[in-house]
Amino acid sequence: MAQRHPDDWFRSGDWDEASQAEFATRLARARPHNRAQYRRIKALGLLESDDPAGHAAAKAMFEENLADPDLPEFERTLALTTLARHERSTGRLASAVRRLRDALAVGGADGNGTNGEEEIELAEMLLARGSQTDLLEAKRLLDRRASAPPLFVRSRYRLAVAQARACARLGDDEGARAWASSALDVAALKGSGLPHHAELGLADADAEELAWLRSAADGQVM
């Protein structure tokens, strides 16, 4: 039997009765200013599991953090963005959009607690909803992120794809062609440009998306 690490009570994705009892007991004993990070770390572990009960518990932990008026801004932003991604993955798009809007508002101009992809993620969700208002908001978000492009190739690819789709939906044929060409260029990159991490964060493009980009770059997408 593998030896149990002392931090497993808040780092593991276990959520059986014994794990729940231990987490509750140890959390109650922890210093108040440390409880939010313990909940966050435990919740992230639970979301990586396949246990629906664990997912529900993770959401409750983040909600408990968000209910704390003294929660640090970076913890609030992390809770909101994590919940948004989980809700997006489970089809709750409207709730995910609200969460990401709140996260960007909390993060402010310096993006405290964000990873640089939140505008792109929110824009992708707005593009999926597809109203004219959503499309215009998505374009504003993408233009803002394009003014300070993300570090990772993967993120720059997502930005260019979303820009191409937004332009196409808004009738900007020239913009759609330009951004589609840019996305194809980024997708073809074989190196990250990061010292000692040549393959870190490269684009993950599927065949269907690449086919759409080639059509858009050729001016065949209206």
Please state the domain extents for the chain: 135-222
Q: Phi/psi class of residue 191: alpha, beta or left (left: φ > 0; alpha: ψ in -120 to 50)?
A: beta
Structure tokens at 212: 């759409």
**pLDDT confidence of residue 3:** 61
Higher pLDDT, 219 or 114: 219
> What is the average pLDDT across 134-138?
97
pLDDT tens digits, one per residue of 51-93: 999 999 999 999 999 999 999 999 999 999 999 999 999 999 9
Gap between the Cα atoms of 82 and 88, Å rounded: 10
196 three-class SS: coil
**pLDDT confidence of residue 110:** 64
In degrees rounded to 5, what are phi and psi of residue 107? -60, -30
Indicate the angle between helix axes 35-47 and 52-66, nearest 10 degrees. Answer: 150
pLDDT tens digits, one per residue of 154-210: 999 999 999 999 999 999 999 999 999 999 999 999 888 888 778 888 898 999 999
Residues above pLDDT 90, as percent of the chain? 80
**pLDDT confidence of residue 9:** 94
